[in-house]
Every structure is written in structure tokens, then in C-alpha cells.
């Protein structure tokens, strides 16, 4: 089958199947062979790997993944793309195509079935309208993961990798960094897609920690505190946390915890590191 990373081949397939793009599914297909090669190289895909691709589209990146990986699981929501994928991927017997919403798929079960429960690699040019729920869903459901290498909106990639004190720092930065080490592999121009998106994109690799560098008694409670702190990011941490109505989190207890941590009583959430939030969580948790 012809390489779909080449613009004319993509156009030929779209015309043959009379495909119309669905904006609601965030469909922007890659048409740049260099970017595709760099993603596969950056994701470090080998013939030992089982890869989950979210949103294969017409199969452009799937072709590259099938060439490099042992097994590719491609989950696509748009039923109109399934006959196209059956055609563009017909030369490969190391793939399965699942017509489902990825947010509803039991990825743990897939990892068990196709990779004996060993860590899988996720590679995707993500639909931008659900980037955060997809990434958080993968982490929070404790899918065995080696790494996640994904194309996202450039601004979202920036948010994932920054630290305290920057305007982009927030709940997403902390969640991603709790589970993984982020690194931006490349910035991608809007011209590398059809149709052209309105934003610049970036490929970010999240290499999952083998063992968690931060220890906290109650992960869920820590993330409740983090979300509450950034929901009202212009307020002090004390006000942000106490306005959220979290059980047992009173002004007195937050002041006391800040004092124990040697932090100012007027500090804002955006100044705290991940390990500060872990300590705060251990101090405020009501057992
Ligand atoms: N991988 C292709 C490429 O790089 O050319 C297509 C990428 S396009 C940005 C995103 C793809 O995700 C589309 O094919 C879209 O239909 C699919 N998609 C959108 N929402 C989805 C969901 N909830 N579950 C699975 N696939 C989804």
C-alpha cells in the first residue's frame, strides 16, 4: 500500500472513499514523512513492542507503527474510517482495529490480552478536544505503560513540562510529572496536517517512572488538593483549599501544615512543587 505520509497518496484515499472530515472528532491527518519517521524514532519502537495507537485516522502513522512494532492496537471512534483502515492496512497482520471511543475501552484488558500485562507504548496524533482526559485516563487507570509519545497542541505540551512559578504551571503539569518524565521532541507546523489546524502542535514523550519518585500516603487526596489550589489560582493556597469544602481541611489545619513545612501563610498554590503537595497531603489527610 502506498505511503500515506505523502500528500498525494492521502488525497487519493480520501477521494476514493469519498471521506468527509468530522470536526467534532478533531480530525487533522499527518502528511509529512519526516515527522512520522521522527515520531517512530523518538518513541523508540522496536519489534518487541505492543503499541496502542489512539485515533489512527486513515492509517498514516499505523503503517509506520506496523512496520516497526510487534503488535499495534488501533482504536478509532469514527465508523466511516474503518473500511478505509481495512484497505490501507491490509498488508499487515500484526494489527487489530477497534471501532470504539478510546475513553470507553478497557486498555488494561487489552494490555493483558496482547502483551501479557507487560508495559505498552502509546503513540498517537491525538484528537485535541480530549487530550487531557485521554492522558489522565491512561495514568489514573494504572494501565501498564512504558511511555506515551503524542502529538498535542503546543500550548498543552508546554503546560505538561513546566515547573512552579510559571504561568502554565497547573494541575496538568503536576499530574503528568507525578507519573512520568516529560520531554518535548519537536514542534510541528500546522502545514504538516490536512486539514490545517488553527494551532501549532508539538510531540511530547512522557516516559513513565518505573517507581514513583514522590511518595504520598493518599494519591487521590493529593490530587484533590492540587485541583482545589489551581481552581482559584489567584487566591492564596489557604483560601483556595478552604473554599473547596474538602473534608477536614480547615484554615487552622492548613496554616499549621504550612508552618511545619516552613512555607509562608500567604503562599499561592502555583509556588508549590510536587513534593510540597505530597507533604501537604500527608499532613492534611484525615485518617
Ligand atoms: N493518526 C491519524 C494521523 O496522524 O493522520 C489521525 C489523527 S487525528 C488528529 C485524530 C483521530 O482520532 C481521528 O481519526 C479521530 O476520528 C480519532 N478520534 C477522535 N476522538 C476519538 C475517541 N474518543 N476515541 C478514538 N478515536 C478518536
Ligand 1 in reach of 74 Cβ (< 6 A): no
103 lines ligand 1 (CB under 6 A): yes
Which atom of ligand 1 lies nearest, measured to the CA of 53?
A: 1
The answer to whether the CB of 125 is under 6 A from ligand 1 is yes
DSSP class of 265:
T
The DSSP output letter for 29 is: E
**Closest by alpha carbon to 57, among 70, 40, 76?**
76
How many CB atoms are closer than 10 A to CB 119? 15
> From atom 19 of ligand 1, which residue's Cα is the shortest distance away?
25
158 Cβ inside 6 Å of ligand 1: no
pLDDT in tens, the chain (287 residues): 799 999 999 999 999 999 999 999 999 999 999 999 999 999 999 999 999 999 999 999 999 999 999 999 999 999 999 999 999 999 999 999 999 999 999 999 999 999 999 999 999 999 999 999 999 999 999 899 999 999 999 999 999 999 998 989 999 999 999 999 999 999 999 999 999 999 999 999 999 999 888 999 999 999 999 999 998 878 999 999 999 999 999 999 999 999 999 999 999 999 999 999 999 999 999 87
The three grid cell numbers given for residue 32, joined into one nine-digit string:
509529512
The whole-model pTM stands at 0.94
Amino acid at each position: 500500500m502506498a505511503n500515506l505520509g505523502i500528500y498525494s497518496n492521502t488525497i487519493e484515499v480520501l477521494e476514493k472513499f469519498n471521506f468527509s472530515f468530522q470536526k467534532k472528532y478533531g480530525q487533522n491527518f499527518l502528511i509529512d514523512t519526516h515527522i512520522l519517521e521522527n515520531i517512530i524514532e523518538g518513541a523508540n519502537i522496536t519489534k518487541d513492542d505492543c503499541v496502542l495507537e489512539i485515533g489512527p485516522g486513515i492509517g498514516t502513522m499505523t503503517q509506520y507503527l506496523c512496520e516497526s512494532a510487534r503488535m499495534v492496537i488501533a482504536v478509532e471512534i469514527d465508523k466511516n474510517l474503518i473500511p478505509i483502515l481495512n484497505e490501507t492496512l491490509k498488508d499487515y497482520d500484526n494489527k487489530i482495529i477497534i471501532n470504539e471511543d478510546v475513553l470507553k475501552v478497557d486498555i488494561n484488558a487489552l494490555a493483558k490480552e496482547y502483551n501479557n500485562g507487560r508495559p505498552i507504548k502509546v503513540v498517537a496524533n491525538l484528537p485535541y478536544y480530549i487530550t487531557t482526559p485521554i492522558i489522565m485516563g491512561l495514568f489514573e487507570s494504572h494501565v501498564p505503560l512504558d511511555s506515551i509519545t503524542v502529538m498535542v497542541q503546543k500550548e498543552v505540551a508546554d503546560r505538561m513540562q513546566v515547573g512552579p512559578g510559571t504561568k502554565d504551571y497547573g494541575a496538568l503539569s503536576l499530574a503528568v510529572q507525578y507519573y512520568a518524565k516529560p520531554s518535548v521532541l519537536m514542534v510541528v507546523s500546522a502545514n504538516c496536517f490536512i486539514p490545517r489546524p488553527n494551532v501549532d502542535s508539538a510531540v511530547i514523550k512522557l516516559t513513565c517512572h518505573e517507581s514513583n519518585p514522590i511518595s504520598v500516603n493518599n494519591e487521590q487526596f493529593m490530587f484533590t488538593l492540587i485541583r482545589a489550589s489551581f481552581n482559584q489560582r489567584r487566591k492564596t493556597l489557604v483560601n483556595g483549599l478552604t473554599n473547596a469544602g474538602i473534608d477536614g481541611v480547615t484554615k487552622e489545619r492548613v496554616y499549621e501544615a504550612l508552618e511545619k513545612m516552613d512555607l509562608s501563610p500567604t503562599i499561592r498554590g502555583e509556588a508549590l512543587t510536587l513534593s510540597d503537595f505530597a507533604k501537604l497531603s500527608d499532613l492534611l489527610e484525615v485518617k
